[in-house]
């Protein structure tokens, strides 16, 4: 299982990486959507992308839209992980192709729950507590 964390905040990438690696998930990281597309091309398509909204170069919404038209990324699950709390932004992200939406600040339990809802965790990973 592979995931990519797309966030311009190094601190958020570290927190999410720790959670995912604790679940046995291989992690790629990118600072913006454009960087993510390059890293995915170099390292293969992950099962899931955890994407911030507000980033320079290519923001999260633009990444979601791009991922949904690029043939090789269409099957990748996308979870927005963002401070954008307005309902219209949430609806826009989901209508644009995001599969789930998590608002910062988040807990490890919320991330695990959303990963489970998306079907990217098996039962053993879901009950894992070593992160």
Q: What is the pLDDT of residues 52-83, one digit of tens each?
A: 999 999 999 999 999 999 999 989 999 999 99
Asked if 53 contacts 60 with a C-beta cutoff of 8 angstroms, the reply is: yes
Q: Is the pLDDT of residue 126 over 60?
A: no
Q: Is the pLDDT of residue 129 over 50?
A: no
Distance in angstroms (rounded) separating the CA atoms of residues 21 and 94: 26
Distance in angstroms (rounded) separating the CA atoms of residues 43 and 61: 22
Q: Whole-prediction pTM value?
A: 0.91
- pLDDT grade, residue 121 (50/70/90)? confident
CATH class (in words) of the domain with range 2-126:
alpha beta
Asked if 99 contacts 73 with a C-beta cutoff of 8 angstroms, the reply is: no
């Amino acid at each position: 299982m592979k995931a990519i964390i797309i966030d311009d905040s190094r601190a958020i990438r570290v927190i999410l990486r720790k959670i995912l690696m604790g679940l046995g998930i291989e992690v790629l990281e990118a600072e913006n959507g454009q960087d993510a597309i390059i890293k995915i091309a170099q390292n293969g398509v992950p099962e899931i992308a955890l994407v911030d909204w507000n980033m320079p170069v290519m923001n999260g919404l633009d990444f979601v839209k791009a991922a949904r038209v690029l043939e090789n990324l269409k099957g990748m699950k996308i979870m927005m992980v963002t401070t954008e709390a307005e309902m219209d932004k949430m609806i826009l992200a989901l209508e644009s192709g995001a599969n789930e939406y998590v608002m910062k600040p988040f807990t490890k339990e919320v991330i695990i729950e959303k990963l489970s809802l998306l079907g990217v965790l098996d039962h053993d990973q879901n009950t894992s507590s070593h992160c």
